[in-house]
Structure 1
Amino acid sequence: LTLGVMFWFHKDWNKNFLVFAALAWFLGYGSEVMGVHTGFPFGNYNYGPVLGIKLMEVPLMIGVNWLLLIYLTGSILNRLINIDWLAASIGAITMVSIDYAIEPVAIALDFWSWEGGIIPLSNYIGWFGVAFIIHMIYRKLQFKKENKIAVFLLANLVAFFLILNFIV
């Protein structure tokens, strides 16, 4: 639903945007497939049944999550920062911070589980690396990156997980 709302407010459906959306989904999803099967770049973990249909042991929804988070953080930072590597770095740090809030909820609700029940530091380092690469792609491809509802959607997503941290 959030992805649909985000797309509804996106106004520049050119080839570069479609390339970005496809790459964000495939790189995010692909990094998770690699992670589940090799432990790199995030550590050793497995997905539970909650996130829906899986392909290669990873829910297809995970690619949507990567696309959504990159686009929302990228859209917000695009208005604030003109230097690509700096915006990509801050975007990646923001995404690691969001993942930090998501992890306890995700584990409690069986989205995924970590080997030994411990979230490894490699998870956050991996999130930074993957997010940085996809953010750089977002920055380099030419399409209008303004989305009037991006701040609201990202704030809503973060609030959702922060509140759930006190409930689950």
Structure 2
Amino acid sequence: MSWLLLALLVALPPWFLRCWAGVGLAAPGPSRLRWLGGGVWLGLALVGAVLWVGGSERVLAGSLALFGSLLALLAFWGGDLLWTARVQIGWTIALALLVGGGATSLLALPPSALALAGLLGAFLAQAVWLMENREARARLSRLLRRTRLWMVPLALSALVRVPVPLWPEGFALMSLLQMSLVTLAAVLWAWEKVGPRILLMGGAAFVLGLGVELLGSRSGFPFGLYSYASAPPPTLLGVPLIVLLGWFGMVLAAHVLAGGRPWLTGWLVVAWDLGLEALMPSQGYWVWQDPHPLWYGAPLQNYLSWFAMGAFLSWIYRNLAPELPHESGLAWAYRLEGLFLPMGLALFGLWPAALVCGVAMNALAWRGVRRATWFSRDGREVVP
């Protein structure tokens, strides 16, 4: 397995470069190199997560998951710069493999240790080279100058998802942490735009979300018959806190992505729920008991109600802060969810939900970006 991995590491990136760049290997575009390199390494990180969940070759799986993520960051930072030093970096990786191979033979280590040595060598060689490169340091400096406070929790919300496949028992903790970070990012982002009004918006979403969840879990209206009896803590009046945070943070992100249009926000929220209804019951957050299931136990009225809730919250946001959709930064929270949620569904073996949710979320998200309608401070529609 380790030798197969090494062969893929050597053969796949050049092949992808030929297909992606459409030119000779000596001259692919800088932007394409960064995105391609990051995508390849993220793909290998996903392979590592899948291997870990499957319980096979833990050293190899952990190495791929960890170093794949780290090398993806380096590729996004300066993949085009690293390409110019590919020969020197290649020799460094070869030396690391040689040392790793010797250690594997002398110490009778498993073959996966060789892959670990190669990945470690690749990371150290690229990290050191980038830190010594003037253009790479300039890029990092520009990035730090442009970084706003709300970007920090949003980035952390993506990073905390990485350990979930490696630590399935910590799903409840990591999911709550992730949604809390998204909510914090939403508050900080909106505070820059509308000030204290975001507290009113958050309070409205929290109260409305709590009220409709209490009504729904006790009466079956409007979502259908379901129960939070087995939900992991923390809960508020029996409703998981993560659900209430989602009604604010993720719906606000969908609202911004939709350009302030309630009907499109509703569809974005429904697309998100297509994945939640598969994932969250499998982790014990709620149990469906409805006699008319449509999708993973949830009835049609559940999705109609999610659409109505998303549209209504969007209408509230639009009236309280009509200028918010002029700034689309928080939309990345939804885009990141559209990336990580389908991946998580796939890792848990929920392939139909992964496919449907992934296609729905990303198709609607990018359509919303292209055709967003914006609003001025007095609420009038304007063309961007």
TM interval, shorter chain, is 0.7 to 0.9
CA contact under 8 A between 1:17 and 1:143: conserved in structure 2? no
CA contact under 8 A between 1:95 and 1:128: conserved in structure 2? yes
Task: Name the residue aligned to 1:93.
Answer: 267
1:137 pairs with one of 316, 320, 324: 316
Task: Name the residue aligned to 1:84.
Answer: none
Matched, 1:38 2:219: yes
SS in 2 for 1:12: helix
- Runs (4 or more) in structure 1 with deviation over 4 Å come to none
How many angstroms apart in 2 are the aligned matches of 1:4 and 1:151? 14
Matched, 1:120 2:327: no
* 1:39-88 Cα shifts (integer Å, max 9, x gaps): 011011112333x222222123321110012210111222xx6xxxxx10
How many angstroms apart in 2 are the aligned matches of 1:119 and 1:32? 15
- Alignment identity in percent? 22
TM-score, structure 1 normalization = 0.85
Aligned positions of 1:29-108 closer than 5 A: 29-47=210-228, 48-50=230-232, 52-78=233-259, 87-108=261-282
How many angstroms apart in 1 are the aligned matches of 2:186 and 2:327? 8
Specify which structure has the bigger relative contact order, considering alpha-carbon pairs within 8 angstroms and separated by 6 or more residues: 1
Q: Tell me how far 1:143 sits from its aligned partner.
A: 5.7
Of residues 62-71 and 109-118 in structure 1, the stretch that sits farther from structure 2 once superposed is 109-118
Q: Based on CA coordinates, which of the two structures has the bigger radius of gyration?
A: 2
How many angstroms apart in 1 are the aligned matches of 2:311 and 2:302? 14
Aligned residues: 160
TM-score, structure 2 normalization = 0.39
Of residues 11-20 and 135-144 in structure 1, the stretch that sits farther from structure 2 once superposed is 11-20
CA contact under 8 A between 1:41 and 1:122: conserved in structure 2? yes
CA contact under 8 A between 2:194 and 2:321: conserved in structure 1? no
Gaps of 5+ in 1: 82-86
